[in-house]
Amino acid sequence: MRIALFDLDGTLTPLDTEDTWIRSIGAAGLGDTAPHQRFHDDYHAGHMDNAAYLRWYTGLLAGLPAADVARLGAEVTERIVASVGPLRRSWIARERERSDVLLLVSASNAFLVEPIARALGLDGTIASEYVMDGGRFTGELGAEYNIGPAKLRNVERWLAARGRAWGDLERVGCYADSINDLTLLAASSHPFAVDPAPALELEAQARGWPILRGERTA
């Protein structure tokens, strides 16, 4: 089995899906989104307090009315899909020829990531799952937060549910931009650093990984 794993934010899109979503919530006056900037900065620096972030974020989600969740979610996913330019889409097309399964593997909310994956023609998603009931978020995390080394663990769980194991894979293409994805990239047979942040660019250069540059459409 050959698979391709694509990070979303900063990799297939130059935007940040979760940032766009949270800013939309704030702009609509639906919650206090001021703490987000600190978490956002810490994430990109590679040292975000995941537990603190999840306490804040799940509380924010739990206060959102179902109608606003649907409306803002649709607006955000449409914007993210539109930001994926031809060059970045060509990476998907190339992997379609090389791989049996293409997955979007993201720390962003699965509620947003799943429709984005469908629109881009990918086969499935591994993202951060938050429990929903009747179109509203309950404030509970549905599975292990899909960030950092957890991405590899969650891909392994996805494979195990299908009777497969990481070690059995013939080829793994992996595309990511952040040092937070180093574990997943390093475990893959064909890693690609996409518009890498400085820390990941240094790692990619040291390890001889290809570095890809995408267009900056927004």
**Confidence band for 45, pLDDT divided at 50, 70 and 90:** confident
Out of 9, 16, 181, 195, which one is annotated catalytic?
Answer: 9
Annotated active-site residue 123? The verdict is: no
Whole-model pTM: value is: 0.94
Tell me the residue type at 117.
Answer: A
Distance of CA 93 to the CA centre of its chain: 19
Q: Is the pLDDT of residue 100 over 80?
A: yes
**CA-to-CA separations, 168 to 1, 13, 98, 125, in angstroms, rounded:** 8, 30, 17, 20
Query: b/e for 162-187, b at 16 or more Cβ within 10 A?
Result: eeeeeeebeebbbbbbbbbbbebbeb
Domain 2-212: top CATH class: alpha beta
Out of 7, 16, 181, 195, which one is annotated catalytic?
Answer: 7
Domains in the chain: boundaries: 2-212
Whether 112 contacts 57, CB under 8 Å: no
Lowest-pLDDT range of 37-51, 113-127, 178-192: 37-51
Query: Which 3 state secondary structure label does DSSP give 80?
Result: helix
CA dist., res. 60 & res. 182, Å (int)? 29
pLDDT at 63: 85
Go through the chain and tell me how many residues it has: 218
